[in-house]
Structure 1
Amino acid sequence: MSQKFLKNSLTVMRNTYDTSTQIIAKEGWNQIVFTFMVFLLSYALSFFSWIFFLIFIATLYSYRNPERIQEEDDEHCIVAPMDGIITDVSKIGLRDGSEALRVVIRKSFFDVGVLRSPLSMEIVDVKKRFGLFMASSSPLFSRLSDRKTFTCKSKFASIKMVISAGLWSQKITLFSKIGSFKAGERLGFLRDGEVALLLPLDTRVKVSLNDEVKAGMSVLGYLAYKDKDVK
């Protein structure tokens, strides 16, 4: 009974920090208030007020938090964890000697910054690498950027999700470091950067380079169906 109560309490605590009910993600409230106050000051002083108004609108737009509906309800389906452009689909070798299929999504500053779960899964481990906030187009980005690596387990396979912060990111915000998430559920916020999914080699990928994807909506591919899976 006490364990169930604790689990429910943790779920409530996580949901209270979730941005699912706000039109504008709370991660941007401080910046929005600041830019609005600067606009009011510039308006009162008649000092390029239209420029500061555009900056306020741009800041407001960059922290929008739209509702998203997944295109498919297949449990094997992998949806985009972040808005952006597909910049890499390739097979890579991992440190443990195994191989994985890597799908990379790069976000621009004005794409929606809310991170979402790519499938129904449980985050079992999070590793942090302290680094620099640098342009994701830099050749040194993969080596030096600030990043967090999630080890995730679904009903059908284990995957890794590597989130790297870009030049305009102040930090990588997570609503819950460890726990269970539904497909498309909000799990964090990234202002600028990229997300790399490391998937099993038998994953059926449905996207190509330079495709534009939307978090929680666009289908990236499907985990392989096994004989034991219920279709």
Structure 2
Amino acid sequence: MNNLGIISKYGYKCITISVVLLILSWIFDFWFSFFTILLLATLWVYRNPERLPQSEDSKAILSPIDGVVEDIKKCNYNGRSYSEILIRSRIIDCGVLRATCDMEISDIKRRNGLNLHSSDSNSNLLNNRATIISKNQDIILRISTSALTSKIYLESITYVKSGRRIGFIKDGKVSLLMPLNTRISLTKGDKVKACNIIGYIDE
């Protein structure tokens, strides 16, 4: 994966455009301060910090992204029951997606949709969406966009170590589906960062 710089590779296009606009504003002497702030904001949105997993335990489940825990509940997927944690990641949060454990990815599904605001109760079902299924730990990641972003960037991978980068989303929601025997260590409303421990899978 060639995505280890301080700025995510998925932001290069937007940053290049911001730099060009800044140069033009300097040459033609218009709105220089505005385009300077725009460039700094773009760099902030696409920051790509290094993170180390809080635990090396093979049963530890890590947060896949920075954000706020919006809901914790039980859900069904393909006829099976899971514990689900829903994390709302805002544009001010770091949008780097990371592996929640050592993931042997069996399938990645994408579905095109709308770009509704994340506060809309139907946004998870109607927005652009991607689903990552890891067969070794029975983990499922469901990622949905919001009004401020229309694309989910994902690495082309089949196996990834815990905490490694797997993609990027500027703004949206990430649902983490885990086995029912997972001991969850978070509560609704908690702020969480990628690679923080969410819980442990019991034997």
- The residue aligned with 1:5 is none
- Structure 1 moving runs of 4+ over 6 Å: none
Amino acid at match of 1:65: N
8 Å CA contact retained: 2:72, 2:187: yes
The alpha carbon displacement at 1:45 in A equals: 2.4
Distance 2:8 2:182 in 1: 32
3-state SS, counterpart of residue 136 of structure 1: coil
More strand per residue: 1 or 2?
2
Is 1:174 matched with 2:158? Answer: no
Q: Please, which of 144, 159, 162 is the counterpart of residue 142 of structure 2?
A: 162
Question: What is the letter of the counterpart of residue 149 of structure 2?
Answer: S
1:219 equivalenced with 2:197 (yes/no): yes
TM-score by length of 1: 0.84
Distance in 1, matches of 2:185 and 2:112, equals: 33
Q: Distance in 2 between matches of 1:108 and 1:117?
A: 19
Q: Cα deviation per residue 1:184-224 (whole Å; 9 max; x = unaligned)?
A: 011111111111011111100001111111112x1100111
Determine if contact 2:124/2:173 at 8 Å carries over to the other structure. Answer: no
For 2:74, the equivalent position in structure 1 comes to 91
What TM-score does the superposition give when structure 2 sets the normalisation length? 0.95
1:138-161 deviations in Å (ceiling 9; x for gaps): 12202211101111122xx31211
Q: Which residues of 2 match residues 1-231 of structure 1 at below 5 A?
A: 15=1, 18-20=2-4, 22-96=5-79, 98-154=80-136, 157-176=137-156, 178-216=157-195, 218-225=196-203
Aligned counterparts of 1:211 and 1:174: Cα–Cα separation in 2: 26
Alpha-carbon distance in 1 for matches of 2:54, 2:152: 27
Q: Distance in 1 between matches of 2:144 and 2:27?
A: 40
SS in 1 for 2:56: coil
Aligned length: 203
Name the amino acid aligned to 2:186. V
Distance in 1 separating the partners of 2:38 and 2:147:
18
Question: Tell me, which stretches of 5 or more residues in structure 1 are unaligned?
Answer: 1-14, 226-231
Q: CA deviation at 1:95?
A: 4.5
Gaps in structure 2 of 5+ consecutive residues: none
Answer 1 or 2: which has greater helix percent.
1
Contact 2:22-2:35 within 8 A present in 1 as well: yes
For residues 93 and 24 of structure 1, the distance between their equivalents in structure 2, rounded to whole angstroms, comes to 37
Q: SS at the partner of 2:61?
A: strand
User: Percent identity over the alignment?
Assistant: 36
CA distance in structure 2 between the partners assigned to 1:94 and 1:80 by the alignment: 20
Shift of 1:170: 3.5
Distance 1:19 1:54 in 2: 25
